[in-house]
Chain A
Amino acid sequence: MLVLKREIGERLVIGNGIIIEVLSVSGDSVRLGITAPKETSVHRFEVYAEIQQANQTASNHSNSAPDAAVRDLAARLRKG
């Protein structure tokens, strides 16, 4: 892992278009400003990890998708 020291107002550039600026520091928390191309998604890591976990749980491998539950729920939704 690359470790860099930056001060408030200083920036980093990643690749050819992602810029991260240290906006402010208060106690244990740091506010960052991120400028990235539209096609680059930026998320809090916890949100990403949550979705990753949700996908794995939803896959029919981890979730043996009980046929009866799928049918019952499908029937319920068909009724609206």
Chain B
Amino acid sequence: MPILNVEGTELEYGEADIITFAEGLIGLPHLRRMVLVNRADAEPFLWLAAVDEHETAFLVIDPRLWTPGYQPALPESLKQLSGAADETLVVLAIVTIAADWAASTINLRAPIVISPATMQGAQVILTESAYKHNEPLPQAQAA
């Protein structure tokens, strides 16, 4: 089994765990093969770790845990990620953690969308959306 090093922890992963981002992440087109890593100490966060670039990872979360009313208008074209499967796509958002955790932000403007059926993923920029790439924690959480 190949091994991935995520924030100092070594993890085994298999081919079936790899999510393919055909176009990479925005501005990082070479990050095409990623694995979602669940570490107990980081729950409810997950690490989205690059397979081909040693030790590159992003902290991601179900954006509704951060912003309960989050309703991204995802482009219709994303349905093609699922191929023939009829499924609900998984939506995650990238978090930029700050040394002072209360100053951390979440990117609600460019969510990560993943098809569990095909293990294909994409990062999309929402068109003409009011969501920002650096939304702060809601008051209730930051207090």
Contacts and interface: CB of A to CB of B under 8 A. Distances in A.
Interface of A: 38-39, 41-43, 47-48, 50-61, 63, 65-67, 69-74, 76-78
B126 to A, nearest CB: 9
A69 B45 CA distance: 12
A51 B42 contact: no
A63 B7 CA distance: 12
A76 B107 contact: no
Given A59-B57, A60-B56, A77-B141, A48 B101 contact: no
A61 B25 CA distance: 15
Contacts of B77: 38-39
B94 A70 contact: no
B98 interface: yes
Instruction: Find the residue from A53, A58, A60, A71 having the highest chain B CB count within 10 A.
Output: A58
How many chain B residues sit at the interface, stated as a range, is 35 or more
Q: Which 5 A-B pairs have the closest CB atoms?
A: A52-B27, A73-B101, A69-B101, A38-B77, A54-B133
A74 B95 CA distance: 11
A13 B27 CA distance: 25
Given A77-B44, A78-B43, A55 B141 contact: no
Contacts of A43: 125, 127
Given A47-B125, A55-B107, A70-B97, 16 more contacts: A38-B77, A39-B77, A41-B125, A48-B26, A51-B125, A55-B28, A55-B110, A55-B123, A59-B28, A65-B97, A69-B98, A69-B99, A72-B101, A73-B45, A73-B101, A77-B65
